[in-house]
Structure 1
């Protein structure tokens, strides 16, 4: 294994031979982005002098990441909070698991086709469409809680999957493109933490409504109204997103955006992306990375009281903040090569997850032998039974943050990030659909899902070692920019100076 890591890194030149660094199709990579290179770096002195402060703040990469993170807080985080209630807070989790399985099935379908869609309509409008669908899930649980109807819960899962799929593809492309190359780990940590802070707020709402002991059945109806209100807040923040080509990073660079392809060419890119070595090698990791969600939510619903679930969903995100930013600092270490950082990050994530899985399996085996009943927070068994759930809410997000950092390490332009993000999200959703589908079976113990999660992680390790060994020393998009700037410097000795970047943020064509 160590020998594999010590082999020479691949060619990091933008036109190199390594297929993980190429568009993997007939579209010439350099031709598709060359028109955008003249606008790739901003004259920051002129930019600060000629552009109003409010516009500079709005176009700044950190502001845009914050806007996306707020949407993640309002949408996916609230969905996680509902799942964190254990079956949506229902007396039994089967109905909720059915709705969630359908949601992720539809999400996977939309993500599969999402690359062409988002690249045609743009990241901003894809985020707007997705944000409009967020309140559907919360309202379906509200109607189920208040009126007892099941059909809207199932329909809501399907509709949410369609809208959220569109949003997920746009989000993945944006978060992998926006960050400056030297701060990707911390930017991604900020995004992951925002999602988990949403679960913290959801847990606080749930606990405030369900703190009395011996409460049976689902959570109060008012809890779901609070979730719906928060989910509605994502839409105005989606309208504030700046198109990727207008974003200015903190290091003065812009995002490389290639020419818009025809619909036919975009559809052809689906198969090329899905069969690229980058996606093939990360596919098992994608299936595994969110698999824990359905299994450990069912674990929580099966063995814990309503108020214990509420407390669990409140305190679970705290350690995630420390863990994600800790991994972010590792991935952003300035004096360590990108390939070595990828290696360290991989084994950090694997070792932490393995420890949590072993602990969880031990607890589950004990519960199968001696049924603990409904564990409350004043039970002596609560700490040891809850801690596996607590830690998996950190180790799970770490695996996602790491993978998006790794995918962005191979980026050639923003459209490639969208396509790669869509493919990875599609496989993630398939894993989640399988996990929730498994847990719709009343006879299925959480032990089965835990063992499957462990097996998937083990199966993912080999291909991931191969992929990490291909990690380029520099992001290909940065190499393209550096080579272009070097060419400009040489040309300026013989000819006139190149045109400056338009200060209004519009790119040249």
Structure 2
């Protein structure tokens, strides 16, 4: 566990101490406590039971969060977001399914817009719990439609899912950007993305096992959704196991410093500050584009592929993503390059890979517009060339998101700022998804429109992202602040001891 999360010494993604004072019961190293609340690991091991140390470890918390992602959003993606892999959500029409998804992402965008104040008031744990409760509701809507044909519940389930998932996404994004030691952020983010795709892998296996017969075109069997629902329900206990962030100890001996709660009025003022910051403005188009592909690609899959071919796609698509995300994670954690250099290299890799996928997909769609291939099955000669663009976009899409969260965390000041930045990014991302699914409610239209819009958004996003990478600090600003405070404490030990005494009294 420690080796996975290993980070260079004296680095962590913390925050400005003056804004982040927290005091817990964990033994501290008094030579650095005022500067960065660094844990005296020897004393910590001697005074805290091993099970509690494991539970409070940042990697354990990341695994718990990833397991929720596995059980919740990944299963929801398998049922709804990747609904055409499942034959249009049971027996739902493609139009109903896209309307449901459009409503989901509209609500998700609204909740994410106000997500900073909401999650900072509720706390990360309870925001995750609300999200975990909402996942089975949407899953049950697809089961009821498949069993009883009531498509209105799918639309209602999309509404509920949008609200709950919005709470979950904001809490999740702030947490994943705060948990990792500075030098392990890329690998932590890769682990989270892989967990999401492993969920889709399991969902794909369930789907394929029940829908592998050639010629079946009616959609997935109703009992498929029972298996998904059982897994979705498991997200709740994992959410309840999340530790408050101020109790988490990173593998490099630092803690996540959480600022004191501020008033609701001040929280809402900070929404404007966050949304108008150069960080969010420069990344706005990228955020809208990052998941824009999902609506168009699900429509592409639903129009041109048989049920069992879609089932197979939901099984094999995550494999390359697992390799790609860890590959990008190691690039973003390279110690031989400065943070700004890694930001530039990461952007280049992500853009080039996406460029190749979009060119391929547009060429394939042009061929399909000229000659309709009908329903492509996995034993057809056309299957590999038609399916591979979808296969690769299931990697390049998550890579785009993983990279963006890494970049956002490179500007870290404190956990609350990570929540606000994550909420803003999720809000804009959800707007893009809502537009994407809204465009595809008219499924008789060619997916070419969606492919071209996605390609155009990526082109528009690239220039601002280059500007943002050029603004990326060579090191996380919080690290510089903390080291400066350490130097001050070393020169002024008497003042430092006064602070320690006040802390001990508390």
Q: Which of residues 72, 77, 92 is equivalent to 2:69?
A: 72
Matched with 1:355 is: 356
Matched with 1:288 is: 289
Matched with 1:84 is: 82
Task: Give the drift of 1:34.
Answer: 4.9
Q: Does 1:32 align with 2:30?
A: no
Separation in 2, partners of 1:201, 1:412? 37
Matched with 1:416 is: 417
Q: Which of residues 55, 59, 65 is equivalent to 1:58?
A: 55
Q: What are the Cα deviations for residues 23-44 of structure 1, in whole angstroms up to 9, with x where unaligned?
A: 9xxxxx6642256663621111
Task: Give the drift of 1:137.
Answer: 1.1
Q: What are the Cα deviations for residues 310-349 of structure 1, in whole angstroms up to 9, with x where unaligned?
A: 0000000000011000000000001100000000000100
When the two structures are superposed, what TM-score results if normalisation uses the length of structure 2? 0.91
Matched with 1:7 is: none
Matched with 1:99 is: 100
Separation in 2, partners of 1:122, 1:482? 29
* C-alpha contact 2:92 2:151 (8 A) present in aligned 1: no
Matched with 1:393 is: 394
* C-alpha contact 1:85 1:306 (8 A) present in aligned 2: no
Separation in 2, partners of 1:311, 1:500? 63
Q: Which of residues 43, 46, 60 is equivalent to 1:46?
A: 43
Equivalent runs, 1:220-231 vs 2, <5 Å: 220-231=221-232
- Cα distance change of structure 1 residues 72 and 485 upon mapping to structure 2, 3 Å threshold: same
Determine helix, strand or coil for the equivalent of 1:316.
helix
- Cα distance change of structure 1 residues 120 and 329 upon mapping to structure 2, 3 Å threshold: same
Separation in 2, partners of 1:441, 1:98? 10
Separation in 2, partners of 1:457, 1:55? 45
Matched with 1:335 is: 336
- In structure 2, runs of 5+ residues without a counterpart are 1-14, 24-32
Q: What are the Cα deviations for residues 183-210 of structure 1, in whole angstroms up to 9, with x where unaligned?
A: 0000000000100111111110000000
Separation in 1, partners of 2:342, 2:405? 14
Matched with 1:146 is: 147
Matched with 2:471 is: 470
Matched with 1:216 is: 217
Separation in 1, partners of 2:501, 2:300? 58
* C-alpha contact 2:173 2:422 (8 A) present in aligned 1: yes
Equivalent runs, 1:426-437 vs 2, <5 Å: 426-437=427-438
* C-alpha contact 2:489 2:495 (8 A) present in aligned 1: no
* C-alpha contact 1:78 1:198 (8 A) present in aligned 2: yes
- Cα distance change of structure 1 residues 461 and 480 upon mapping to structure 2, 3 Å threshold: same
Matched with 2:406 is: 405
Task: Give the drift of 1:258.
Answer: 1.3
Separation in 2, partners of 1:462, 1:424? 18
Matched with 1:253 is: 254
Determine helix, strand or coil for the equivalent of 1:440.
coil
* C-alpha contact 2:90 2:222 (8 A) present in aligned 1: no
- In structure 1, runs of 5+ residues without a counterpart are 1-22, 24-28
Matched with 1:322 is: 323
RMSD: 2.0
Q: What are the Cα deviations for residues 397-445 of structure 1, in whole angstroms up to 9, with x where unaligned?
A: 0000000000000010000000000000000000000001111013321
Q: How many residues align?
A: 479
- Cα distance change of structure 1 residues 203 and 45 upon mapping to structure 2, 3 Å threshold: same
Separation in 2, partners of 1:144, 1:208? 21
* C-alpha contact 2:350 2:399 (8 A) present in aligned 1: yes
Matched with 1:117 is: 118
Separation in 2, partners of 1:325, 1:385? 26
Determine helix, strand or coil for the equivalent of 2:442.
coil
When the two structures are superposed, what TM-score results if normalisation uses the length of structure 1? 0.91
* C-alpha contact 1:488 1:498 (8 A) present in aligned 2: no
Task: Give the drift of 1:482.
Answer: 1.9
Separation in 2, partners of 1:249, 1:497? 27
Separation in 2, partners of 1:396, 1:176? 19
Matched with 1:367 is: 368
- Cα distance change of structure 1 residues 128 and 365 upon mapping to structure 2, 3 Å threshold: same
* C-alpha contact 1:43 1:500 (8 A) present in aligned 2: no
Task: Give the drift of 1:84.
Answer: 2.5
Separation in 2, partners of 1:481, 1:133? 40
Separation in 2, partners of 1:381, 1:497? 74
* C-alpha contact 2:206 2:227 (8 A) present in aligned 1: yes
* C-alpha contact 1:108 1:427 (8 A) present in aligned 2: yes
Task: Give the drift of 1:179.
Answer: 0.3
